[in-house]
Chain A
Amino acid sequence: MIPELRFRVNKPTVTYETIEGESVVINLETGSYYSLRAIGSEIWESLAANRAVELIVDDLSALYNATRVQVEQSVIQLIGELRQEQLIVPDGAIGSSASGSQAPSVASTVKSEFQAPVLQKFTDMQELLLLDPIHDVDAAGWPRAKQDA
């Protein structure tokens, strides 16, 4: 049994777009960006829509060919990674099951194969950012230029 937690995207630090079943997520402060595909993107969209975690597990269990325990473990693991990367933050612990986004309307008679979600992380843009604090200033108070930036 998982608590009826809800999350939200850590805005304005984090922004995202979902196209054709793939979510691209950017952390504007750290310079990291991320990709979530297929089920990972579905979970992300549900979290971003403030849907309770328990309901997300229900939704996926109805859609995919996996035990509820398998789905639950995958969802909780992904949420742990998303929180670790500060992409989502808790947004109210207890609430009505009816609130948040609506459940998918897809019929559950033919279930799709379940593939555990993967959070792909990219850090190759961090060099573009000034991630270290400034200490060195000139007489007028301006930071000294870093020629290698």
Chain B
Amino acid sequence: MADMPLDQLSVTARSHAHPDPVSYFSAAQAAFTSATRTVAVRIDRVYRIAGYNVRLSFAGMSLMPYICPALEHLSIETDASPHLTISLWDTTSTGVEIPSPPWSLSDYGVRGEIAGYNNDRISICFKHGSGAVSLLDSTLNQAIFWVRDADQLPYWEKGAPLLNILHWWMSQHDRLLVHGAAVGNDHGAVLIVGKSGSGKSTTALACLSSGLLYLGDDYTIIETLPSPVVHSLYATAKVDVNQVNAFPHLLPKIHNNGTLAGEKALMFLSPDYNKQMIPDLPVRAILVPRVTGGPRTQLKKTSAAAALTALAPSTIFQLPRAGESNFKIVARFVSKVPCYTLECGKNLAQIPEMVLGALLSDGL
């Protein structure tokens, strides 16, 4: 066990005195420094995400296989100056704990946010599904990701790592992380929205298989001004097991073959599909998929309100601290482009045709 930093000791000792959020963040940052000393190595990776350089600093290598593959397509040179730095460590490989929670059990919100520990500067949440703690100091542009044991991270955390930190930070930089897929071509992209199981991934993978450009199948980042843009975030695909056989060329890419009972099939698409991955595209339309199982796939005009209903709740309920301002951004976004229902039939090969139709229908 490494020596506990002074700041961390002081916070632990004061745990009943409720240290302020900045003090807790500082103590957690000191714990990261201690972890890097313990393992005697800090490894940096830099990614270009939605127009910003995000540096990940790992204390040792344990977490890297769980965090890096999903972001690999956005990797840039490590000497690039970062806009945001995220420090990551786990206790199992470093022996260093994050300061114990000074808050009480009743302070955990329904999305993991900690009551009394979130303000204009500091965001803190505990992810109940993974046990990961995420913190952001938006003044310092420093964030922290800690988990007790990297090997215990669930598969979906590997498919969408650092979701909460990126959501918080991007929200403060005129971007919004959303629960939506995106595919397109040189003309632009369609944003595909809806709750889990609505057909986002199937639609996105059908388009990937046809040669269209791919920005993501689950989470992407949108920007409303001056005109709607979607940014790629994760080079992954996560598909229901009963759908994955529809994409036989992707079967070798399945990462969690041994645990598919109860999990979706998770695939990392970089580097094999890097030629079809693109960092960002202007958004030409929004699609709300609906799996009909019928003989034909059809595109039908729908209202912006229908797109808002499909996108906003599934985004906001997943992300700690998301609320009114995020809702307004989504509303503004869906009002700027035509919205369609994509009725997905049995023949998946028809889906890319409909997507191309939607891409060309924005008044050109």
Contact = CB atoms under 8 A, between A and B. Distances in A.
A143 B108 contact: yes
Contacts of A147: 129, 154
B120 to A, nearest CB: 15
A146 B109 CA distance: 15
A149 B308 CA distance: 25
A65 interface: no
Most chain A CB within 10 A, of B105, B317, B328, is at B317
Contact of B317 (A125, A142, A145): A125
B66 interface: no
Given A12-B323, A20-B304, A26 B131 contact: no
B324 A20 contact: no
A119 B341 CA distance: 22
Contacts of B152: 145
Interface in A131-149: 131, 133-135, 137-138, 140-149
Category for how many chain A residues contact B: 35 or more
Interface residues of B, number: 41
Nearest to A131: B110
Contacts of A69: none
A22 B101 contact: no
Interface in B84-124: 97, 100-101, 105-106, 108-112
Given A128-B318, A131-B110, A22 B303 contact: yes
Interface string A14-44: 0111011110101011010101000000000
B101 A12 contact: no
Given A122-B313, A133-B106, A145-B129, A19 B335 contact: yes
Contacts of B15: 141
A142 B131 contact: yes
A129 interface: yes
A124 interface: yes
A116 interface: no
A66 B316 CA distance: 39
A146 B108 CA distance: 14
A134 B109 CA distance: 10
Interface string B287-328: 000000000000000011100110011101110000110011
Contacts of B100: 140-142
8 contacts: A11-B324, A15-B323, A20-B303, A28-B110, A128-B318, A129-B110, A138-B148, A140-B101
3 nearest interchain CB pairs?
A149-B129, A145-B131, A22-B305
